[in-house]
Chains A and B, each alone.
Chain A
Amino acid sequence: MKEDKNIVDFLNPQKGNSPDASYFEQLAKNVILQESMAKKRITPFYKKPVVWLVATAASIVFILLLNVKSTEGPVTLLAMNDISTEEIRTYIDANIDEFDTYLLSEFVSEESVEESKTDIIVESPSSDTDPIKELEEVDLDDILDYLELEEIDIEDLEDELYI
């Protein structure tokens, strides 16, 4: 038989065993207790936003400091590289009296001295100057004063030079 009524009308809803009033009163108490406990619950240290903010700020400062420190080296090296070897030599020649050999040698290791091809500056007479001529220009008295100052006996010198 085909029904005109809706199929739902052939289903009779059963009155379920609804809990009694005490169940709902207890439920209300449980929820209130649960929520009051949740409010009182102490937030762990690591969950506090302020801790994360401070930690983040400290990390940023630390990273920035590292960056600043690391950029100082290359800048200095770059400046040193800008100076040519010729300029350095000229400076040393001009100020050689002020250099303390002992201090300089302290900073130069033995290995680096061996490995490096150090140019030895040798004083060579200029081609356009004649030593005999220069000597002739020196006054005889000056020569005698110099020999006397150096305590060189003129006779010994004559023997050595077979004069």
Chain B
Amino acid sequence: MIKHLDDKAIIKLFNQGGSASNDAFTQIVTHYGPILYNQIRALAKNHEWTNDILQNVFVKVFQNLSTFKGDAALYTWMYRIARNESLNFLEKEKRRTGVDIDAPLLEILAGHDVLDATTPELISNILQEAIATLPEKQAAVFQLKYFEDLKYKEISQKLNTSEGALKANFHHAKQKIEKFILTRLNH
């Protein structure tokens, strides 16, 4: 198995052009692809949409990686592209009907009165909308912590942010999502 290079080494390899560029890009897709897939899947309704969005995201990454200056972490940069692509895509598809929704993202646990009267499909949709309203950084932290169950240390390395800041981001994100869900469920 090929050892994964760090961001700077990948970008340097990509900028060499030719087959080196292709190798670097393949590393990016295989390394960051699964996590970006899940991030997009949390916003999109099914695999088909997620697949389309992810392809668009990596096309943009390929086209613009040479201009990436490295001010932010590579993942943060790609997450921004993925989020924008997802929201734009969903905006275009908003009026479409008859979309097949894959299995819900969530399972409802017992113990909360408000959730007793709802379904996993409905709460999944509301959660997707809630994530879309969050500021970019909070959305990224929430998705990595909540759906990917990553440790703060891992997220810190991915986003190049301190663990304390990440905890604060996650807390604020949860508060906003709860408020959004309760409002949507008329509570």
> A135: CB under 8 A from chain B?
no
A31 touching B107 in the complex, CB below 8 Å, given contacts A7-B182, A11-B127, A24-B30: no
Known pairs A8-B146, A31-B62; A14 contacts B33 (CB<8 A): no
Number of residues from B at the complex interface, CB < 8 A: 42
The answer, among B55, B106, B174, for a CB contact under 8 Å with A12, is B106
Residue of B nearest to A30 (CB): B55
With an 8 A cutoff between CB atoms, is A25 at the interface? Answer: yes
Contact of B49 with A by CB under 8 A: no
List the one stretch of A15-23, A50-58, A61-69 in contact with chain B: A15-23
- Decide yes or no whether A110 CB sits under 8 A from chain B: no
User: B30 contacts A28, CB within 8 Å?
Assistant: yes
CA A28 to CA B114, docked complex, whole Å: 44
Are A10 and B112 interface neighbours, CB within 8 A? yes
Is B150 at the interface (CB under 8 A from chain A)? no
B105 within 8 A of partner (CB): yes
Can you name the residue of chain A whose Cβ is closest to the Cβ of B54?
Answer: A27
Contact between chains at A11 and B37 (CB < 8 Å):
no
Q: Report the minimum CB–CB distance from B47 to chain A (whole Å).
A: 8
Pick the interface stretch among B4-12, B21-29, B67-75, B159-167: B21-29
Give the A-B pair count, Cβ closer than 8 A: 98
- A11 touches which of B26, B62, B109 (Cβ 8 Å): B109
Cβ A8 vs Cβ B178 within 8 A: yes
**Is B114 a contact partner of A19 (Cβ separation < 8 A)?**
no
Report whether A12 and B109 are in contact in the complex, using a CB–CB cutoff of 8 Å.
Answer: yes
Chain B, range 1-52, C-beta contacts under 8 Å to A: 22, 25-26, 28-30, 33-34, 37-38, 41, 47
Give the nearest-CB partner of B115 in chain A.
Answer: A10
Rounded to whole angstroms, the CA-CA distance of A61 and B178 in the bound complex is: 68
Q: How far is the CA of A12 from the CA of B115 in the complex (A)?
A: 12
Known: A8-B146, A12-B106, A24-B30. A1 touches B113 (CB 8 A): yes
Chain A interface size band reads 20 to 34
Q: Mask for A89-127, Cβ within 8 A of B = 1, else 0? A: 000000000000000000000000000000000000000
Chain B at the A interface: mostly helix, strand, loop or mixed?
Answer: helix
Q: Are A32 and B55 in contact (CB under 8 A)?
A: no
Contacts of B114 in A (CB 8 A): 7
Q: Does A73 contact B (CB under 8 A)?
A: no
A7 touches B107 (CB 8 A): no
Q: Is A6 within 8 A of B174, CB to CB? A: yes
| CA A21 to CA B29, docked complex, whole Å | 10
Check A14–B58 contact: CB distance below 8 A: no
Q: How far is the CB of A100 from chain B (nearest CB, A)?
A: 81
Give complex CA distance A131, B175 in Å.
Answer: 131
Check if A34 is an interface residue, CB within 8 A of chain B: yes
Residues of A within 8 A of B140 (CB): none
Q: Can you name 8 A-B residue pairings with CB atoms under 8 Å?
A: A12-B107, A14-B107, A16-B102, A17-B47, A25-B26, A28-B28, A28-B29, A31-B25
**What is A's interface to B at a CB cutoff of 8 Å?**
1, 3, 6-14, 16-19, 21, 24-25, 27-32, 34-35
9 shortest A-B CB distances, which residue pairs?
Answer: A28-B29, A24-B33, A10-B112, A28-B26, A12-B107, A11-B106, A7-B178, A10-B109, A31-B58
